[in-house]
Amino acid sequence: MNESSPDTFPSASPATCVSDLLAIMSRLRGPDGCPWDREQTSQSLKPHLLEETYEVLEAIDAGKPSALKEELGDLLLQIMFHTQIASEQNQFSFHDVANGLADKLIRRHPHVFQQTSDASPVTTAQDVSRQWDQLKQQEQATQPGPQSLLQGIPKIAPALQRAFQVQKRASRAGFDWEAIEPALEKFKEELNELYAAAAESISSSSEGTLQSENPMVQSTIEEELGDVFFALVNVSRFLRVNP
């Protein structure tokens, strides 16, 4: 940082830029900093983190490099915010996060950073993906506590995305249809069950409308609708379309 002008943070090397950002965030959170920044917590920042992530995705879809650069900066701010809060609580620092990421990238890319005598050389993107999953599973196996096939899938993720990830994990474990045709048949089956549940509700109503006020009927319809969504997500996975 330029000591002659503490409020000036000139462009410099990447390492210096990161140091400047950390210094700015520390000052904003300091006693003489910004009242809004000081009162933020990891919980209060969650909506902002999600919002900035969506704005990054929108900038990517728009194909505008200048917008993407700005939105990535806003997302980086959120990372700086969370690491500063954690550092104040003596939990971890930004450097801990960066070092952990560097270690993981090296560990998960032995075909790049290590000389191996693996009988199955990694030469394609599919090989890399398979190796990544294998190494991840090996690392998780060394962690204390019960292991789960669904470990690492965020429970807070949107329902469709969570279903998509669950089905991908199940497929890797060998629990999957061999082709799309059975998946399509399963979708039709679930759709018919939803239709039957809705038709039964309508037929038992004197007004010819869904009896949504009946908890039992509503519960059945919701369950069947969930099965339809889950089966449809599976079809989309076979079609290589992320729902």
Instruction: Give per-residue pLDDT as tens, 4-15.
Output: 444 555 556 788
pLDDT at site 97: 97
pLDDT in tens, 217-240: 788 889 999 999 999 999 999 999
Residue 24 has pLDDT above 70, yes or no: yes
Show the 3-state SS of the chain.
CCCCCCCCCCCCCHHHHHHHHHHHHHHHHCCCCCHHHHHCCHHHHHHHHHHHHHHHHHHHHHCCHHHHHHHHHHHHHHHHHHHHHHHHCCCCCHHHHHHHHHHHHHHCCHHHHCCCCCCCCCCCHHHHHHHHHHHHHHHHHCCCCCCCCCCCCCCCCCHHHHHHHHHHHHHHCCCCCCCHHHHHHHHHHHHHHHHHHHHHHHHCCCCCCCCCCCHHHHHHHHHHHHHHHHHHHHHHHHCCCCC
pLDDT at residue 84 tops 60: yes
What digits encode the pLDDT tens for the residues 110-126?
A: 999 987 666 568 889 98
The string of pLDDT tens digits covering residues 27-57 is 999 999 999 999 999 999 999 999 999 999 9
Q: Would you put residue 9 in left (φ > 0), alpha (ψ -120 to 50) or beta?
A: beta
Both tokens of residue 34?
Answer: 């910004």
What is the mean predicted confidence (pLDDT) over 158-185? Answer: 87
Give the residue, 122 or 60, on which the prediction is more confident: 60
Label residue 1 by pLDDT band (50, 70, 90): very low
Domains of the chain: 14-107 (1.10.287.1080), 154-243 (1.10.287.1080)
What's the whole-number average pLDDT of the chain? 87
C-alpha 234/C-alpha 208 separation (Å) is 33
pLDDT-above-90 percentage for the chain: 55
Question: Is 86 a residue whose pLDDT tops 70?
Answer: yes
pLDDT at 137 over 50: yes
Label residue 93 by pLDDT band (50, 70, 90). very high
- Give the mean pLDDT of 56-60: 97
Residue 212 has pLDDT above 70, yes or no: no
pLDDT at position 133 is 82
When computed from its CA atoms, the radius of gyration of the chain, rounded to whole angstroms, is: 25
How far is Cα of residue 59 from the mean position of the Cα atoms in its chain?
18
Average pLDDT over residues 136-148: 76
pLDDT of amino acid 142: 81
pTM, full prediction: 0.68
